């Protein structure tokens, strides 16, 4: 704790600093980079049309002969990936073998002079497969279920405390229900794109830049990748060794990112593909934009889940046992084990507790991070089960949660750095009205609609990653520049970091320019886990402190200082989590089963809010995505083909404007003294957590029907 920030800029609703560029469309996203390059090449991928098997033959003659085509790459000629650090990331082993591990895997790519030519030529590539039997269907009784070594990012796979079975058998009241969530897709508005330039060594030797050995000939190469990423340095760290390059040979640029929600948190196949193409045409810029359809198999998704929740309680609703057992899928080429039950470990006190995660490695695309991985699907199930328990006990759902609010972290026994769930619930109930309303479920009908309200709790852990570095420079003339390779994917981090820097430097925000989104800047950790402000902001404050310590209050122009994310001694002392309470009112058409949500309220406890304007937008945005999760989102895999059949924005509906009514977010006025110099715990993900449960609980209150399988489509209410 340096405590060096003052309250001048932090806490004020500074308008988004890149707002002008964004409302005019002049903020450059990845595909829009290199505007002066009059003739970039365009790449169009060819995706596998079988779910499992081998590529027997790829006929590229017609494609290669098409006018304007520069290259057609397949696993036979794309060249090796040296993979110097031996990470063997199966998702990134693009065009490295004839094996097809999921439908939609990249099997070829065409590089041509225009996007139209590339796309047309891609349609001329003929791929023949030796198909093998596949399995894409997640089943709770799948014989192939296994326990991963850990779940994302480093949590224990299973936890056990006490004797859950005995406690459940002895409990006065029990709930034993299974909840399901479907495959969900991040679907940021900016599809995943990359522009890659592989500039060969300039001394004339080995100008091809690569050869059959791949690693040879990369000396002197410069790779520039304009990426759509939540972490420029992460992309560099991952891709450089894959292509036999040292990190300093690679520059990744990403000043503006059109949303990511986790899907741009790590490089995916398209990034590798763009670089493979660029390596094949050294010196030329290659633009690769996945089509919206191609993003579905290639840019990550949230695993479907099957979650069994067992709760045992005494007659007063005090929990005696909590068991949360999760089945989810992963791919065969790369394991991603979503931490679905982890939130349950800390939400409520009970002497007997169990969590389980089991995976089935299926012939499916590679799952990955999607906003609040773990907590978003996990708290849906837990909080729906809590609602069922409240009904079984005959308790008000808010009161049930208050009775089970643990004084210390039930898992670690550590004190909370600040657990204010009870305040969130009480404040929300005061503002919104007591959910449930006291009338029997299904008894309130107005204008041909069932009306009901629901509540759910929310939580998200505090993450701050070590390893970020910030540089502070005094430019002269009262102006300062702060450099850190952070990302702003719409979160407002550019604005928030400017506020943090201004206070740390004791300067007005107008005096400070923050530069981010480039590996030429000091290294920064990924924008994930709601960690950005904490991780980067801490480094910025440390750099400002270092600057003052080194250069005093009257620095010469050009003076600079750097510092990294400081030590975090409270990490081991406290359980640090944000909490929230979500409320929803629903109206369900009695005849059609259509669910409308006229109002939602979220009350959050997140430590200090750096910028109430952008923070509110993030909360509301998360809640809106939670509403979308509750009512709309479902990736439909055709298990006969392994194909996500609704792979566009009509088939995979995300909440549109008409779906969203009054969504309000407020937060407690607090500072967490045990996290970082800002006292802020991060806000990017908690808004989605619990939102779907609040809606589903409201649907039960309205209709008397418990929907345990998302999304709540009309067929589930009219059956």
Partner 1 sequence: MDARITLRVDGEERSPTVDTRTTLLDALRDRLGVMSPKKGCDHGQCGACTVLVGGRRVLGCLALAVAHDGAEVVTARGLGALPDGGDGNSGGGLNGNSRNGDGDGERQGPSDDGLHPVQRAFLDHDGLQCGYCTPGQVCSAVGMLAEAAAGHPSHVTDDLTRTGPAVLDDTEIRERMSGNLCRCGAYVNILAAVREQAAVREQAAPARGEAIP
Q: So which residues are the catalytic ones?
A: 685
Of positions 5, 11, 29, 73, contacts partner 1 by CB under 8 A: 29
In the complex with partner 1, the residue whose CB is nearer, 37 or 158, is 37
636 binds partner 1 (CB under 8 A): no
183 binds partner 1 (CB under 8 A): no
Of positions 238, 491, 519, 565, contacts partner 1 by CB under 8 A: 491
Q: Which of residues 577-606 bind partner 1 (CB under 8 A)?
A: none
Closest by CA to 215, choosing from 252, 195, 240, 198, is: 240
Query: Residue 343 CB: number of other CB atoms within 10 A?
Result: 28
Closest approach of Cβ 515 to partner 1, in Å? 17
Of positions 339, 507, 530, 618, contacts partner 1 by CB under 8 A: 618
Q: What angle do CA 400, 402, 403 make, to 5 degrees?
A: 65
Taking CA atoms, 506 is separated from 114, 556, 603, 619, in Å, by 51, 17, 31, 29
Closest approach of Cβ 315 to partner 1, in Å? 41
- 180, with CB counted inside 10 A (0-12, 13-18, 19+), is middle
In the complex with partner 1, the residue whose CB is nearer, 511 or 590, is 511
- From 15-23, 155-163, 202-210, 335-343, span contacting partner 1 (CB under 8 A): 15-23
* Tokens of residue 100, six digits: 């097809």
Q: Which of residues 379-438 bind partner 1 (CB under 8 A)?
A: none
- From 13-21, 169-177, 362-370, 580-588, span contacting partner 1 (CB under 8 A): 13-21
Closest approach of Cβ 672 to partner 1, in Å? 23
Query: Residue 203 CB: number of other CB atoms within 10 A?
Result: 9
- Phi, psi of 617, rounded to the nearest 5 degrees: -60, -40
The secondary structure of 518-535 as a DSSP string is BTTSPP---S-TT-HHHH
Closest approach of Cβ 635 to partner 1, in Å? 15
Of positions 103, 352, 419, 616, contacts partner 1 by CB under 8 A: 616
In the complex with partner 1, the residue whose CB is nearer, 553 or 657, is 657
242 binds partner 1 (CB under 8 A): no
20 binds partner 1 (CB under 8 A): yes
17 binds partner 1 (CB under 8 A): yes
7 binds partner 1 (CB under 8 A): no
Helices (H), 464-506: 493-505
Closest approach of Cβ 608 to partner 1, in Å? 17
Closest approach of Cβ 63 to partner 1, in Å? 16
- Which residue bears the tokens 């094996």? 99
247 binds partner 1 (CB under 8 A): no
- Distance, in Å, from the CA atom of 84 to the CA atom of 94, rounded to the nearest integer, reads 15
- From 29-37, 46-54, 556-564, 566-574, span contacting partner 1 (CB under 8 A): 29-37
Of positions 16, 268, 357, 716, contacts partner 1 by CB under 8 A: 16
Of positions 140, 511, 620, 671, contacts partner 1 by CB under 8 A: 620
Beta strands per DSSP E along 491-606? 512-515, 560-564, 577-589, 595-605
Pair 84, 134: CB distance under 8 Å: no
> What's the start-to-end Cα distance of the chain, in Å?
57
Pair 671, 608: CB distance under 8 Å: yes
Of positions 4, 8, 28, 335, contacts partner 1 by CB under 8 A: 28
115 binds partner 1 (CB under 8 A): yes
Closest by CA to 44, choosing from 161, 127, 122, 140, is: 122
668 binds partner 1 (CB under 8 A): no
Q: Which of residues 281-340 bind partner 1 (CB under 8 A)?
A: 289, 291-292
Of positions 4, 114, 123, 646, contacts partner 1 by CB under 8 A: 114
280 binds partner 1 (CB under 8 A): no
Count of residues in contact with partner 1, rule CB under 8 A: 72
373 binds partner 1 (CB under 8 A): no
Closest approach of Cβ 649 to partner 1, in Å? 4
The SS3 of residue 560 is strand
Taking CA atoms, 510 is separated from 127, 194, 220, 514, 516, in Å, by 57, 33, 41, 11, 17
530 binds partner 1 (CB under 8 A): no
Report the interhelical angle of 691-703 vs 375-393 (nearest 10°).
Answer: 30
Give, as one character, the DSSP assignment of residue 249. G
- 715, with CB counted inside 10 A (0-12, 13-18, 19+), is exposed
- Phi, psi of 393, rounded to the nearest 5 degrees: -80, -25
- From 127-135, 207-215, 316-324, 610-618, span contacting partner 1 (CB under 8 A): 610-618
Share of the chain residues as helix, strand and coil, in percent rounded to the nearest 5: 25, 25, 50
In the complex with partner 1, the residue whose CB is nearer, 416 or 619, is 619
Of positions 1, 15, 65, 205, contacts partner 1 by CB under 8 A: 15
The secondary structure of 419-464 as a DSSP string is --HHHHHHHHHHHH--TT-SSPTT--EETTEEEEEEEEEEEEE---
Closest approach of Cβ 12 to partner 1, in Å? 8
Of positions 654, 668, 671, 718, contacts partner 1 by CB under 8 A: 654
In the complex with partner 1, the residue whose CB is nearer, 6 or 443, is 6
Of positions 191, 297, 300, 410, contacts partner 1 by CB under 8 A: 191
- From 194-202, 404-412, 419-427, 483-491, span contacting partner 1 (CB under 8 A): 483-491
- Which residue bears the tokens 């420029």? 232
Of positions 510, 520, 567, 638, contacts partner 1 by CB under 8 A: 510
* Tokens of residue 305, six digits: 């889940």
Of positions 10, 31, 243, 421, contacts partner 1 by CB under 8 A: 31
């Amino acid at each position: 704790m340096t405590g060096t920030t003052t309250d001048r800029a932090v806490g004020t609703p500074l308008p988004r600093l890149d707002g002008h560029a964004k409302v005019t469309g002049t903020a450059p996203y990845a595909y829009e980079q290199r505007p002066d390059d009059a003739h970039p090449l365009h790449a169009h991928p060819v995706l596998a049309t079988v779910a499992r098997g081998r590529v027997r033959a790829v006929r590229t003659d017609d494609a290669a002969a098409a006018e304007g085509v520069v290259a057609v790459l397949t696993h036979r000629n794309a060249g090796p990936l040296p993979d110097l650090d031996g990470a063997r990331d199966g998702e990134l082993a693009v065009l490295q073998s004839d094996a097809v591990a999921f439908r939609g895997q990249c099997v070829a790519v065409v590089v041509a002079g225009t996007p139209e030519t590339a796309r047309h030529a891609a349609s001329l590539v003929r791929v023949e497969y030796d198909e093998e039997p596949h399995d894409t269907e997640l089943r709770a009784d799948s014989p192939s279920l296994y326990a991963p070594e850990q779940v994302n990012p480093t949590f224990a796979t299973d936890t056990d405390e006490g004797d859950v079975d005995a406690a459940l058998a002895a409990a006065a009241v029990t709930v034993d229900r299974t909840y399901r969530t479907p495959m969900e897709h991040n679907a940021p508005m900016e599809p995943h794109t990359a522009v890659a330039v592989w500039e060969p060594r300039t001394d004339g030797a080995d100008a091809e830049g690569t050869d059959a050995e791949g690693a040879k000939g990369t000396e002197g190469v410069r790779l520039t990748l304009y990426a759509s990423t939540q972490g420029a340095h992460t992309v560099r760290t991952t891709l450089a060794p894959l292509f036999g390059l040292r990190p300093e040979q690679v520059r990744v640029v990403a000043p503006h990112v059109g949303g990511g929600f986790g899907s741009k948190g790590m490089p995916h196949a398209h990034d590798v593909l763009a670089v493979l193409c660029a390596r094949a045409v050294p010196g030329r810029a290659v633009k690769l934009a996945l089509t919206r359809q191609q993003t579905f198999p290639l840019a990550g998704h949230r695993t479907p889940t099957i979650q069994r929740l067992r709760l045992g309680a005494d007659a007063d609703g005090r929990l005696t046992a909590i068991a949360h057992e999760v089945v989810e899928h992963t791919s065969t080429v790369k394991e991603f084990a979503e931490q679905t039950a982890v939130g349950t470990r800390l939400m409520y006190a009970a002497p007997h507790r169990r969590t389980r995660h089991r995976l089935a490695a299926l012939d499916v695309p590679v799952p990955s991070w999607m906003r609040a991985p773990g907590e978003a699907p996990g708290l849906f199930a837990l909080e729906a089960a809590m609602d069922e328990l409240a009904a079984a006990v005959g308790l008000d759902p808010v009161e049930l949660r208050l009775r089970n609010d643990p004084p210390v972290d039930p898992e670690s026994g550590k004190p909370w750095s600040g657990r204010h769930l009870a305040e969130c619930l009480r404040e929300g109930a005061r503002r919104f009205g007591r959910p449930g309303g006291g009338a029997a479920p299904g008894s309130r009908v107005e204008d041909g609609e069932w009306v009901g309200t629901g509540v759910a709790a929310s939580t998200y852990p505090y993450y701050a990653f070590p390893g970020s570095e910030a540089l502070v420079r005094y430019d002269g003339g009262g102006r300062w520049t702060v450099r850190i390779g952070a990302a702003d994917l719409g979160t407002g981090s550019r604005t928030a970091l400017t506020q943090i820097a201004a206070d740390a430097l004791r300067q007005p925000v107008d005096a400070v320019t923050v530069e981010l989104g480039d590996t030429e800047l000091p290294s920064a950790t990924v924008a994930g886990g709601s960690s950005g402000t904490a991780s980067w902001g801490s480094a910025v404050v440390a750099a400002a402190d270092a600057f003052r310590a080194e250069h005093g209050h009257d620095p010469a122009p050009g003076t600079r200082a750097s510092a990294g994310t400081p030590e975090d001694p409270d990490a081991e002392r406290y359980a640090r989590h944000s909490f929230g309470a979500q409320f929803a009112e629903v109206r369900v058409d009695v005849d059609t089963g259509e669910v409308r949500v006229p109002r939602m309220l979220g009350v959050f406890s997140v430590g200090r809010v750096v910028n109430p304007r952008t923070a509110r937008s993030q909360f509301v945005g998360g809640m809106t995505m939670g509403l979308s999760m509750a009512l709309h989102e479902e990736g439909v895999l055709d298990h006969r083909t392994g194909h996500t059949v609704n792979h566009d924005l009509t088939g995979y509906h995300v909440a549109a404007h008409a779906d969203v009514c009054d969504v309000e977010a407020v937060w407690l006025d607090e500072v967490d003294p045990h996290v970082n110099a800002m006292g802020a715990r991060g806000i990017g993900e908690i808004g989605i957590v619990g939102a779907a449960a609040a809606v589903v609980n409201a649907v039960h209150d309205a209709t008397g029907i418990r929907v345990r399988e998302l999304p709540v489509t009309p067929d589930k209410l009219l059956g």
